[in-house]
A and B are shown apart, each in its own frame.
Chain A
């Protein structure tokens, strides 16, 4: 059992949701500079797998380990090293985009407002940094969530359907960011329906029914 010394490995994870055997012995490996694309029809447990990987959901059987250690023993260090973008953009409607970033990223690392504005600029929503999140469109909110992932400077990206509500420019931008993240030595696990146009070695994991 060669658990990747410097990456993420998931071994034979089983999860039941009531009577449904959602994850049946799923295993995967993710090393730095690699991108894993998880696809499959709806309801095959893609999001459940992501929640197991990020440590929110503890599987009935199987093991998730980071740098060779089980994540339950190194929970806070592991979660400090990852950035998770869930299906919804997860922003507080009453807070401005900048405040959302400050309160989210500020818990992970000391960051200045300038840096945050720069990452918002990078994802093309610099103009609405001071607008409350509830007035932004779904696409803009997705870009703010992307800016948050960028600002966190995490080594492991866990993205659940990052392309929803994004226009073609947004999809290209996300591809670019993923590319530069993986080139810079980071790892990424992306759950998405359609194919990714990222010219880096993309490994695929198909979750069948």
Chain B
């Protein structure tokens, strides 16, 4: 089979709900195991082995949770928008299921990033919230998540709710960079250019590895939870079709 055919059959398989249901059921435990391993190493190395920061001291250890969750909040939103675009343009129902499944996970990571961000900022700023540009864009991202989720639930007909939320996710993802840029511009207006860099500028290897493994752990954890939620979303959307009866009977 030529590469094109492989790509096409792979794409076709991904669009068929029973295949996705089966695959995500099989994938979930592996992803969860991988996440546990990566996070285990990341926690031990981050908390105990990695050196404290010369400026922030031990407080810097909070980046091992804050930075991965902040990155994940953005990656999940982008994935949600991509799945929505695929679903809206090629009318693939599984895309809506992926978008609907990833929204709450992304929102929870955004809340985690906000809380850990303000806890981390407290020693430096003296308050829990100082309108730091990155945390402010994170807050606006949370509003975008809430908007997409509540719009999806506002419709009685689930397929219409899916399409409306899909469009809002696409419009939202286009606005995320604009929001971030304008918040940074607005912040430089008041505090001048000397913003304390939240992320450590150049990290020694011993700090970088735990951070990378925590990020990997978060990604795998997201994949695991997504697979579990995706099974529920696919079942809800395919309740009438025949394959669901076999899948549910066992």
Binding site for B on A (CB under 8 A): 16-19, 21
Contact = CB atoms under 8 A, between A and B. Distances in A.
Contacts of B240: 16, 19, 21
A104 B117 CA distance: 56
B157 A17 contact: yes
What is the size category of the interface that chain B forms with chain A? under 10
Contacts of B159: 16, 18
A16 B93 CA distance: 14
A22 to B, nearest CB: 11
B13 interface: no
Contacts of B158: 18
Contacts of A19: 239-240
Interface string B234-250: 00000110000000000
Chain B contact surface mostly:
loop
10 contacts: A16-B159, A16-B240, A17-B157, A18-B156, A18-B157, A18-B158, A18-B159, A19-B239, A19-B240, A21-B240
Interface of B: 156-159, 239-240
Given A19-B239, A21-B240, 5 more contacts: A16-B159, A16-B240, A17-B157, A18-B157, A18-B159
Nearest to A21: B240
A115 B156 CA distance: 43
Contacts of B156: 18
A17 B240 CA distance: 12
Nearest to A17: B157
A208 to B, nearest CB: 19
A16 B158 CA distance: 11
A192 B159 CA distance: 29
B82 to A, nearest CB: 23
Nearest to A58: B91
Contacts of A21: 240
A106 to B, nearest CB: 31
A21 B240 CA distance: 9
B244 to A, nearest CB: 12
A117 B158 CA distance: 45
Contacts of A16: 159, 240
Nearest to B93: A60
Contacts of A17: 157
Most buried by B among A17, A18, A19, A21: A18
A17 B239 CA distance: 13
A17 B158 CA distance: 9
B167 to A, nearest CB: 15
A25 to B, nearest CB: 15
A18 B239 CA distance: 10
A144 to B, nearest CB: 31
Contacts of B239: 19
A16 B162 CA distance: 14
A18 B157 CA distance: 5
A18 B158 CA distance: 6
Contacts of B157: 17-18
Nearest to A20: B240
B215 to A, nearest CB: 40
Nearest to B158: A18
B172 to A, nearest CB: 24
A6 to B, nearest CB: 30
Nearest to A18: B157
A18 B159 CA distance: 7
A17 B157 CA distance: 7
A18 B160 CA distance: 9
B104 to A, nearest CB: 22
Nearest to B157: A18
A19 B240 CA distance: 7
B141 to A, nearest CB: 31
B89 to A, nearest CB: 14
A19 B238 CA distance: 9
B78 to A, nearest CB: 28
Contacts of A18: 156-159
A52 B240 CA distance: 22
A24 to B, nearest CB: 12
- Top 8 A-B pairs, shortest CB-CB distance: A18-B157, A17-B157, A18-B158, A19-B240, A19-B239, A18-B156, A21-B240, A16-B240
